[in-house]
Structure 1
Amino acid sequence: MRPPRERWCLRCGSGRGVGPVGDGARSAGRGSSERAARALRGGGAAVFALLGGIVVWGFAMLWLVLATGLTVRAIRAGLPFAPTWWSFIFPVGACVTATGALAARAGSEVFVWMAVVFYGLLVIAWVVVAGHSLRHAARHVWRRPVGGHAHRGTVEPEGR
């Protein structure tokens, strides 16, 4: 039994919140720390910005896990393709940039490999969604209107 259509829409959009959180981690890990360090002329600001970026990145990972769980559950229940599937791309892309920025700032191999994994997931997501979009478009571009709607004449009100 399928859930109502409104519930599918909520599940498709559940991952969109990861994007801004991941972008915040990227900003904290890269640009903000440089400006703060110059403004305060101390190494403590860079460390504080890096730790803040890691904390925000951790929240983004938690959100990503929860959104992925909801999405996998919906796919197993028969989630139909819709253009809203493109909303899965932005959060993964934000996680790639955030993880890459933290890898560059921290110099951590763990973050480098996680960025590579997220990039691989981003490519897979692009291929899957683009493939479904092309197949969906191919099925619907050549379809003729049902019931001859294109040839329907004007309708006069009764009683004239």
Structure 2
Amino acid sequence: MSDNANSSVKILVIDDDRLIQILLKQALQSQGYEVILASSGIQGLEQAHKHHPALIISDWQMDEMDGLELCRKIKSEPYLSSIFFILLTSHKAVEDRVEGLDTGADDFLSKPIDVHDLKARVRAGISLYQAKQELKITEYSSGQSC
């Protein structure tokens, strides 16, 4: 049951595990989202600049640039900072999740991935992203009319 309203929404999936990429891509495309794939944090940052997705799902543990470092970079750039960022992790400890949130992550997805949980978190993340975009437009319009 694909939603045509989602077809213009871009989601960037960053994971060095090809099977995870395929699972996430299929689940998200079935909801009508446009999915962009990257297999490293460096490649993910490049794709974020190129496509400016509404939402990023990134694995926490990757070579070269891990999900935390990627999240820090995304959230530090004004052009990208409003992107909803979900860390994909097998970390279960509360301290790890606190570290992720302190880095700027907006949410977590635990491995193994539950597709229903994935879809619900993505819907919530997209809604928040869209609300932020509408607020920016409203603030910009208000500032212009003063």
Which band: TM-score by shorter chain? Answer: 0.3 to 0.5
Bigger proportion of residues as helix:
1
- Rg larger in 1 or in 2? 1
TM-score w.r.t. length of structure 1: 0.30
Bigger proportion of residues as strand:
2
TM-score w.r.t. length of structure 2: 0.32
